[in-house]
Structure 1
Amino acid sequence: MAGLAPSADGSPARNPLTVLTLAELRQRSSVKWRMHPPDVLPLWVAEQDVPLAAPVADALRRAIDLGDTGYAHGTAYAEALGEFAAGRWGWHGFRVDHTTVVPDVMVGIVEVLRLVTDPGDAVVVCSPVYPPFYAFVSHAGRQVIEAPLGPDLRMDPAALDEAFRRARAAGRRPAFLLCNPHNPTGVVHRRDELEAVADLAGRHGVRVISDEIHAPLVLPGAHFTPYLTVSGAENAFALVSASKAWNLAGLKAALAVAGPRAAADLRRMPEEVGHGPSHLGVLAHTAAFRTGGQWLDLLLDGLDANRTLLETLVAKHLPAVACHRPEGTYLAWLDCTRLGVATDQPAGEPGVASDLAGPARMFLDDARVALSSGHVFGTGGTGFVRLNFATSPAILTEAVTRMGRAVDARRPPA
């Protein structure tokens, strides 16, 4: 593993994904480990099977020891993100005064939509995409228009052009909700692709809001480009958090970041939105961005190894399943359409992440492996599953082996 350094006690640093045993993980009370019975291996929701990074744990312990559990204050979180963004992504124009703290990324997205769109306006998404994009946008009184990804699972400029045209016709102030990197496919958008988005958005009068929650989780072979660093993105927004990279979903805090021509809009954010983030969350996310880099590097090495392991396991145990190699995130998008599993879906709209159908239902029932069902990610998701490989190699191996046995058991006798 590259880039290993000794821990504080002089022992070799470890891959965070190999520290905890299955028995230890089963003691957790979070949704990943409590949604299903204990015989199920949960590889569905975006939680990692890692211990808390030491710098984050130290910051929280210090706060608890001091009784520092009051209201959050100051700009340390934004300053830490700015330092991280400059060092990791080359974003040297980051403006702390163009940020505000929000409870989490999806709440921040909804609040930004309320600033720049009106009820009934259209919000474009590139499907298949993170299910809450559908649910949160709809619950905020906006309509979703899909611009399906191309066959290569990358953004399709022609589909975006058409969707932006329809969105503009549907309301006065349309928006595009960009997923950068993309969930569930793991695609990391290239600068030229983002420049094309900015050009199309400018021509159609569409405001772009970029969900960059997975930005620190770009794997070897790809490079993350913050949308706000792209020419033409000056009136756009980004939502950023340490929650996915450092496994802090339960410690609520995120940052909304405005481009230079969107800063005035961000200043209209209602004061009460800033009351939602947890003070402990702000401290934890600040510590992650400021001093959690070594831990993140170890994690990325482990995720890269698991990405390769998953490809090997799928080829061996699930040869009929196509595994799209993710460039970022810790999520794999598996094409199970050749398995011949019925894909009848629950009634309703995309976005209900707990709904299971098709291959995901089969793998839960027959293999006791919990995955995310592709149909909830919108058009293009039926027949797919999303697998979270942020776990130990042992758990990943056992899960895919079980899945292979379940598929084999469905084959008619020769």
Structure 2
Amino acid sequence: MSYEEPNPLRRLSLDELRLRTSMKWRAYPPDVLPLWVAEMDVPLAEPVARAVCEAVELGDTGYPTGTEYAEALDDFARKRWGWDGVAVERTAIVPDVMLGIVEALKLITGPGDAVVVNSPVYPPFYAFVEHMDRRVVEAPLGAGHRIDLDALESAFRQAVAGGGRAAYLLCSPHNPTGTVHTREELAAVAELAGRHGLRVVADEIHAPLVLPGAEFVPYLSVPGAENAFSLMSASKGWNLAGLKAALAVAGSTAATDLARMPEEVSHGPSHVGIIAHTVALRHGGGWLDALLVGLDENRRLLAELLASRLPGVRYEQPQGTCLAWLDCRALGLGDDPAAVFLDRGRVALSSGTAFGTGGAGHVRLNLGASPEVIIEAVRRMAGALG
């Protein structure tokens, strides 16, 4: 990695950040420190900012076309992960990862069919699946926030018991725990899915945010994953949530299914978003490396702060993502400690109850902030107990 660029998490002051009008900075009053939604407190990578400005100056704000985004992801995947599985002809642009998941699930399941998830997990998994008239079957994570293969097999059996089709919605790296699944774990998942006849859809939006000591393994790279789908994006790695664009990638035997995705789905992504994501993947590597160093520092800083100020909080440092999953059950704050930290400490965290089974008594904290903000947040959280 190259660390020549400055840490993006140390670039902006709170006063500068409060000028932003995005959800993170407008959902709560100004006296609240917002560490909830997965927006990072960073400036855009310079190549991305330049490309977006050039597009606006040219009036290049029309409809998207072409395969540049897929080609950039293919190049990034080869360089970063040693994976050559992003065959451009087996990709489709989609509005964002979650809507891409919805479209993939529509291809392989029908109304009333089951979708297995590993709880606690990203709350929109529940909302979107249920809105599609599918039913969620939970396979809770096991020790160390890792996939429990016995629980997963039990959920797979339950999912297919009625004779319908079923899918497994894999979160990799996992949100909210930051777990990065190993190649052995993913191969075991593929074997189980094949044995029980489930199709896998992998949400890999956090793939660029794997921290030192862990390795991202694309699900489609493991044996048995040929009939699966992956949804990928530069959104989380480069803080581009407001510039909508993502890619659906099909395994080698899932290409015919992907070809059935309605053409109008490709109208949803932002053309400027595709420009931004493409440039991030091609020219934002140095910025990403600097960000990963900053997130690594922040996850270790949080561990030190919690040990000294909030020793009752259990925290396993995440291997990936910009998120920290905090077990606050020993503090005696009930099922929703986030409400207490907001009311008494003026710190906004994500409530664990929204993440399904295993989330009660937990909060999710966004590490994508300056060290000074994290220090102040823990100080306030500790004060909320007094």
Bin for the TM-score computed over the shorter chain:
over 0.9
* Structure 2 counterparts to residues 19-38 of structure 1, below 5 A: 19-38=11-30
Which residue, out of 256, 259, 267, partners 1:264?
Answer: 256
- Match of residue 2 from structure 2: 3
The residue aligned with 1:134 is 126
Taking the aligned partners of 1:170 and 1:365, their CA distance within structure 2 comes to 46
- Structure 2 residue 320 is the aligned partner of structure 1 residue 321: no
Task: Output aligned runs, 1:301-316, within 5 Å.
Answer: 301-316=293-308
Q: Is 1:295 equivalent to 2:287 in the alignment?
A: yes
Residue 62 of structure 1 and its aligned partner are, at CA, apart by 1.2
* Secondary structure, counterpart of 1:170 in structure 2: coil
Superposition RMSD in Å: 0.8
**What SS does structure 1 have at the residue aligned with 2:144?**
coil
| Structural mapping, 1:394-405, within 5 Å | 394-405=372-383
Counterpart CA distance in 2 for 1:322 and 1:195 is 30
Matches within 5 A, 1:381-392: 381-392=359-370
CA distance in 2, matches of 1:25, 1:309: 21
Aligned partner of 2:73 in structure 1 is 81
Provide the C-alpha distance between the structure 2 equivalents of 1:272 and 1:213, rounded to a whole number of angstroms: 22
| More divergent stretch after superposition (229-238 vs 65-74) | 65-74
Partner of 2:82: 90
Cα deviation, residue 130, structure 1: 0.3
Q: C-alpha separation between the residues in 2 aligned to 1:180 and 1:164?
A: 18
Out of 161, 166, 178, the residue aligned to residue 174 of structure 1 is 166
Structure-1 residue corresponding to 2:247: 255
Residue 66 of structure 1 and its aligned partner are, at CA, apart by: 1.2
User: For the Cα contact (< 8 Å) 1:321–1:336, is it kept in 2?
Assistant: yes
1:277 is aligned to 2:269: yes
Superposition map of 1:80-119 within 5 A: 80-119=72-111
Judging changes above 3 Å, is the alpha-carbon distance between structure 1 residues 273 and 171 closer, same or farther for their aligned structure 2 residues?
farther
Q: How far apart, in 2, do the equivalents of 1:15 and 1:122 lie?
A: 43
Taking structure 1 as the reference length, the TM-score comes to 0.92
Contact kept, 8 Å, 1:186 with 1:326, in 2: the verdict is yes
Q: Distance in 2 between matches of 1:205 and 1:121?
A: 13
Deviations 1:252-308 (A, max 9, x none): 100000000000000000011010000000000000111110000000000000111
SS of the aligned residue for 1:62 comes to helix
For residues 266 and 387 of structure 1, the distance between their equivalents in structure 2, rounded to whole angstroms, comes to: 35
Structure 2 matches for 1:187-266, cutoff 5 A? Answer: 187-266=179-258
Partner of 1:393: 371
**Offset, 1:3:** 3.1
Q: How does 1:151-166 map to 2 (within 5 A)?
A: 151-166=143-158
User: Following TM superposition, by how much is the alpha carbon of 1:173 offset from its aligned partner in structure 2, in angstroms?
Assistant: 1.1
How far apart are residue 398 of structure 1 and its match? 0.3
TM-score scaled by structure 2? 0.99
The whole-number CA distance in structure 2 between the counterparts of 1:151 and 1:300 is 26
Aligned with residue 376 of structure 1, among 348, 351, 354: 354
> Aligned partners of 2:3, 2:83: CA distance in 1, in Å?
26
Q: For the residues of structure 1 that align with 2:378 and 2:162, how far apart are their CA atoms?
A: 45
Residue number among 351, 367, 371 corresponding to 2:345 in the alignment: 367
Between 214-223 and 168-177, report the one with greater CA deviation.
168-177
Residue identity opposite 1:73 in structure 2: T
For residues 44 and 136 of structure 2, what CA distance do their matches in structure 1 show? 36
Counterpart secondary structure, 1:176: strand
Greater relative CO, 1 or 2 (CA 8 Å, sep 6+): 2
Task: Tell me what 1:335 maps to.
Answer: 327
**How far is the alpha carbon of 1:171 from its aligned partner?**
4.6
Distance in 2, matches of 1:214 and 1:242, equals: 8
Letter in 2 for 1:102: V
Paired residue type of 1:3 = S
Mapped to 2, the partners of 1:170 and 1:105 lie a distance apart of 29
Q: Distance in 2 between matches of 1:279 and 1:285?
A: 10
Q: State the 1:61 CA deviation.
A: 1.1
Look up the SS of the partner of 2:161 in the other structure. Answer: helix
The question of whether the paired residues in 2 share the 8 Å contact of 1:15 and 1:299 is answered with: yes
> Structure 1 residue 178: deviation in Å?
0.0
CA distance in structure 2 between the partners assigned to 1:273 and 1:143 by the alignment: 23
| Change in CA separation of 1:30 and 1:170 when aligned onto 2, cut-off 3 Å | farther
Q: Deviations over 1:322-352 (max 9, x none)?
A: 1111000010000000001122xxxxxxxxx
Give the Å deviation of 1:94. 2.4
What secondary structure sits across from 1:366 in the alignment?
Answer: helix
Residues 70, 86 of structure 2: 8 Å contact kept = no
Report 1:55-66 matches (<5 A): 55-66=47-58
Structure 2 Cα separation of the partners of residues 342 and 272 of structure 1? 46
Matched-pair identity in %: 66
Distance 2:131 2:92 in 1: 23
Structure 1: gaps spanning 5 or more residues: 6-12, 344-357, 410-414
Report the counterpart of residue 347 of structure 1 in structure 2: none
Other structure's SS at 1:188 match? coil
Q: Distance in 1 between matches of 2:48 and 2:357?
A: 38
